[in-house]
């Protein structure tokens, strides 16, 4: 199913048109009662898209005109394992999508594909450009910079959950949302001050996202080479490495390592896998190697996070 979203317009109004359209397919998982929103006096809008499973492929085109007065912060808070069944194949490939934050700037045109079986839960904050300029330097988001990616840390995720929980308390929810915006832009300011970014074009972003999708399988072996990933992204290996790190904040293999660790933590906390099982599944030569990698990343032992309840 094809869905086009204009970031310059209210999202609820657009989804109402999507659901009312003749071609709307309920297997998409979308329903108006699963989308909650609130608008604050400063024109900031907060949306919660409840957890859904897409039982058909979704092809989404997000656009924002160059002269748009709006920005959108898109937050994936539903990270979990996704099983994608390939056409004409009986086996399934595993995919883990870590939580992340995307800031959609004016001038963007990005295609996103959600495969059958994709599970998602999202929160979005739409706010006018003037809000950004009232509190931050105008050159914080460089001209031509269309999309900014940041990892979703536990603090911001907790704030998003708190905002969702307070949707019925407008003042409290507003305070939570403004805090989320402030913390996200603190991260963006920190990243901007330590890097000399190259302007990313829409095609670059689309190709980087396509290449990154090959790294979201925590159990993939062998991991695609830099050359293979660069070919997928339709750019040279040197350009790919520079732009990938600029966009995702880490090198390709570091990104994949994060996917592996976040997947392992989720499986342990949910009690679905033991540390021993995960060390084998993630292709560690010895369980102690997995334990060491996990502790270095999270600061805790896998056995401490494992729930056998």
Cβ-based neighbours of 135, under 8 Å, separated by 6 or more = 185
Spans of all domains in the chain: 2-193, 202-305
Predicted local confidence at residue 37, as pLDDT: 95
- Domain spanning 2-193, CATH architecture: Sandwich (2.60)
pLDDT value at residue 169: 95
Q: Are strands 92-96 and 35-39 parallel, antiparallel or unpaired?
A: unpaired
**Three-class secondary structure of residue 4 per DSSP:** strand
pLDDT at 119: 77
User: What is the Cβ-side half-sphere exposure of residue 240, based on CA atoms within 13 angstroms?
Assistant: 22
Q: What is the pLDDT along the chain (309 residues), one digit of tens a residue?
A: 999 999 999 999 999 999 999 889 999 889 999 999 999 999 999 999 998 888 898 888 889 998 999 999 988 886 554 433 333 333 334 454 555 788 888 888 887 777 777 778 899 999 998 888 888 766 667 645 666 776 667 788 889 999 999 999 999 999 999 999 998 888 777 766 555 666 677 788 778 888 888 888 888 888 999 999 999 999 999 999 988 888 887 899 998 998 899 889 888 988 888 999 999 999 999 999 999 999 999 999 999 988 764
Question: pLDDT of 87-115, one tens digit each?
Answer: 333 333 445 455 578 888 888 888 777 77
Which of 121, 140, 143, 145 has its CA nearest to residue 181?
140
Return the CATH architecture of domain 202-305. Answer: Orthogonal Bundle (1.10)
Q: In the prediction, which pLDDT does 69 show?
A: 92
The per-residue pLDDT for 93 is 41
* Predicted local confidence at residue 97, as pLDDT: 52
Strands 147-151 and 118-128: unpaired
101-135 burial: b if 16+ Cβ within 10 Å, else e: bbbbbbbbebeeebbbbbbbbbbbbbbbeebbeee
Pick the closest to residue 61 from 17, 123, 112 (CA basis): 112
Q: For residue 308, what are the contacts with CB-CB under 8 A and spacing of at least 6?
A: 271, 274
pLDDT at residue 85 in the model: 36
């Amino acid at each position: 199913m094809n869905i086009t979203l204009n970031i310059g317009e209210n999202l609820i109004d657009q989804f109402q048109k999507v659901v009312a359209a003749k071609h709307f397919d309920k297997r998409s998982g979308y329903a108006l009662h699963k989308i909650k929103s609130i608008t604050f006096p400063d024109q900031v809008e907060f949306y919660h898209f409840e957890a859904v499973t897409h039982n058909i492929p979704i092809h989404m085109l997000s656009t924002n005109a160059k002269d748009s007065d709006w920005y959108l912060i898109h937050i994936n808070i539903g990270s979990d394992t996704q099983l994608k069944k390939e056409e004409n194949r009986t086996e399934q490939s595993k995919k883990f999508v870590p939580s992340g934050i995307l800031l959609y700037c004016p001038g963007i045109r990005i295609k996103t594909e959600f495969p059958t079986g994709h599970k998602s839960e999202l929160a979005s904050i739409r706010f006018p450009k003037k809000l950004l300029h009232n509190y931050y330097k105008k050159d914080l988001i460089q001209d031509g910079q269309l999309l900014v990616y940041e990892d979703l840390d536990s603090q911001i995720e907790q704030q998003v959950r708190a905002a969702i929980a307070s949707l019925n308390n407008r003042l409290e929810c507003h305070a939570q949302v403004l805090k989320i915006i402030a913390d996200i832009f603190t991260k963006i300011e920190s990243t901007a001050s330590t890097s000399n970014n190259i302007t990313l074009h829409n095609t670059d972003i689309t190709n980087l996202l396509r290449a990154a999708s090959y790294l979201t399988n925590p159990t993939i072996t062998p991991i695609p080479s830099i050359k293979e990933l660069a070919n997928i992204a339709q750019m040279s290996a040197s350009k790919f490495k520079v732009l990938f790190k600029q966009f995702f904040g880490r090198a390709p293999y570091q990104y994949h390592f994060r996917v592996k660790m976040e997947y392992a933590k989720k499986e342990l906390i949910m009690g679905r896998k033991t540390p021993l099982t995960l060390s084998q599944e993630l292709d560690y030569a010895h369980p102690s190697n997995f334990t060491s990698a996990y502790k270095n990343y999270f600061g805790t032992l896998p056995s401490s996070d494992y729930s056998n309840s």
